[in-house]
Amino acid sequence: MTAEPAAARGGEGVAARIAAWRILRRVDADAAWSGPVVDTELRRSRLDERDRAFAANLAYSTLRWQGTLDWALTTVVTRPLERVEPAVLDVLRLGAWQLLYGDSPDRAAVDTAVSVAREQVGDHVAGFVNGVLRALARSRERLPWPSEHDDAGLALRSGYPAWVVASARERFGERARAVLEAGNVPPGLVLRATGDPAGLLAELRRAGFDATPGRLVPEAVNVPHADPGALACVAEGRAVVQDEASMVVARAAAPPTVAPGTASAPMAEPSWRVLDACAAPGGKTTHLAQLGATVAAADVRPNRAGFVRDAAARTGMAARVGVAVADAARPPWRAEAFDAVLVDAPCTGFGVVRRRPELRWRRTPGDAERLAGLQLRLLEAAAPLVRPGGVLVYSACTWTVAETVGVATGFTALYGDRFTLDAATLTPAAHRRPSAGDPGVQLSPDVDGSDGMYLCRWRAEPS
């Protein structure tokens, strides 16, 4: 947790709370993603660095624990929460998080919440906010927590919907709690060096950052507590913000001449053609180009295809990347046109809840099955585009059984006469291997320190 700003400890700190409340309002009312909203709102604020960090932590934490906060509030609010004005409910959530999990004294948490309500909503709600939060402060030691052995109890204790807990137990068994709790730890900044990673590492250390090499791939550099917007290497395209799990995925579709311990391929005329079928925003596309491939990058939405073009230009990879507005379910390319096809499929996204805490509350129990069907259709559409001897890679930044093992085993069952599993170099060295009953590899934050990415690779049989 981020420490309280000095003003907040003195019972003030209203400006930081207002910034956090505005973030919640935009995320809730506009269904926006928290990351860009946090960046925008804090740039607009006049907060100092310490208060900006506090506001961001308060907003992210409140989004992460929203279900538990709402449950706690129902014990002291005499009306259904659906009947509480959304703007007021967000004030209550901010105050409830501070009372249940924060470091500020109860009086400061309540008084600043009342001030936010008065300034941002109106005087008429101040008494209601004051009464609710004071009641919660008095009763929090007596909250009727259910048993953590039940899905509902573990959900409240870990900050997820109960159905997500049940899905995690189905996927990970006894590791479920560790995976869920790791998804609550905000990730540090990870960069992909577009040139020499040792040089980038030295540059960052000279600048005073506690930079360390990545664990999974040689081009990764960890820079905890750094602001990517303030790094010259990012602005100049010498580094890209990208999680290591995504780098592992790109390497699974990279030219076979790329050695596991090297960060890039010589910039010779490449002959390895890759289709990145769901390419936006372009991190894997530019990584593949960096590793020596010629990449056709596709996205069905023109604005997102533009993101890929921008990424290729920013990293100096435009000559190796061609961008097309195309539907991966109906690809316009000829059969056997590519040495490798990467299908980084739309998914429930539970592997990235460290970065998007609100995502867990936006998904519904039927989403995994629905998206698994889409993922299988995308793989079926991509399969004819792989030349004999080429590779097909499926990835998804999630861990539900339906989307991961279900899709991979389903495709293998349908196309096992044309594609064979090819797991020998899915991940560097012998870091991870597919397990019994699972043809792919599941990365996870608790074990790998990375996003929860799943990947599976097949090789097309010679004609």
Q: What is the mean pLDDT of residues 358-378?
A: 97
Q: What is the CATH number of domain 6-142?
A: 1.10.940.10
Q: For the chain, what are the domain ranges?
A: 6-142, 151-182, 242-460
So what's the pLDDT on residue 265?
55
Which residue is it, tokens 């040139």? 195
* In the predicted structure, residue 215 carries a pLDDT above the cut 70: yes
Q: Which two tokens stand for residue 351?
A: 């592997």
Q: For residues 26 and 18, what is the distance between their CA atoms, to the nearest angstrom?
A: 12
Q: What pLDDT, on the 0 to 100 scale, is given for residue 7? A: 40
Q: Before 281, cis peptide (omega within 30)?
A: yes
Render pLDDT for 409-439 as a digit per residue (tens, 0 to 9): 999 999 999 999 997 555 554 345 556 678 9
For the stretch 36-54, pLDDT in tens is 999 999 999 989 989 999 9
Question: Looking at 278, 347, 397, 456, which residue is catalytic?
Answer: 397
The per-residue pLDDT for 426 is 58
Per the annotation, the verdict on 397 as an active-site residue is: yes
Largest Cα span, the chain: 75
Q: What is the CA radius of gyration of the chain?
A: 24
Crossing angle of helices 126-139/86-100, nearest 10°?
30
Please tell me if the domain spanning 6-142 has the same topology as the one spanning 242-460. Answer: no
Lookup: tokens for 282: 């372009």
Residue in 300, 227, 275 with CA at minimum distance from that of residue 390: 275
* One-letter amino acid for residue 115 of the chain: S
Q: How far is CA 293 from the centre of its chain?
A: 26
CATH number at 242-460: 3.40.50.150
Instruction: Report pLDDT for 256.
Output: 87
Tokens found for residue 418:
């044309």
